[in-house]
Amino acid sequence: MYILIEPSELVATGFASSLGREGVPLASFLPGEFLDWVSAAPSEDLRSVEAFLVGNCENPDQVSKLIRSHSPAPVIAMSDSNSLERTLALFEAGADDVVRKPVHARELLARVEAVRRRERAEARAVTVGRLRVYFDGRSPDVEGVELPLPRRERRILEILAGNRGRWLTKQQVFSATYGLFDDQVQESVVESHVSKLRRKLAQALGADPIESRRFLGYRLP
């Protein structure tokens, strides 16, 4: 999920709608609320955040610096002007990119993915046995043969592959898939998605690569 720090409810609603159409859940905070939240948020909640979008805050450089001290997720700062001084200050504070508003949701996704590409270097995909999982929106493949998956199942597989070897709780998978604050969907829906995903993987691979353990959650070894 993405986090937006923005004082305008209208702007926040617009971004939530446009990103939602791209399948990305968004939680928005007023600047003051965000400062309180990020300072006290559990580490598992912070690990569920895929990117931070810093909007029209009074001190966006301070917000970026605070985010960077708590999370390695990409930080995209959005500016209303072409001020060189403000842009440099945002980069110095830890922003990974600075973009001029208005900006399309797809451009934001592309910029976040560009940051991830730099971080992953050549690791744009993870190979687990005969299965190859991509991080650019493509379906996984088995020895080069595409395995089409619905968006939610593909997203869950990407989350597990991106954290290969690490146990992820059902709450962490849910938060990364639906958003930390989505109260319209029950957390138990993750079990249904994972169950369908595991059946498809087992059918394609001859064995289910996803491990599950009570109280620990799920992982790809």
Cα–chain center distance at 19: 12
Average pLDDT, the chain: 87
Q: What are phi and psi of 118, to 5 degrees?
A: -65, -40
Give 184's pLDDT tier (boundaries 50, 70, 90): low
**Model's pTM, two decimal places?**
0.58
pLDDT tens digits for range 4-54: 999 999 999 999 999 988 888 899 999 999 989 988 888 778 877 889 999
For position 187, what pLDDT does the model report?
67
* Percent of all residues in the chain with a pLDDT value above 70, rounded to a whole number: 93
Domains of the chain (ranges; CATH) run: 2-120 (3.40.50.2300), 125-219 (1.10.10.10)
pLDDT tens digits for range 97-109: 999 888 999 899 8
Measure the CA–CA gap between 216 and 132, rounded to whole angstroms.
Answer: 24
50-64 per-residue burial string, b: 16 or more CB within 10 A, e: under 16 = bbbbbbebeebbebb
pLDDT tens digits for range 101-146: 889 998 998 899 888 777 655 457 888 999 999 887 788 999 999 9
User: Which H/E stretch holds residue 71?
Assistant: none
Measure the CA–CA gap between 12 and 53, rounded to whole angstroms.
Answer: 10
182 C-beta neighbours (distance < 10 Å), count: 16
Give 181's pLDDT tier (boundaries 50, 70, 90): low
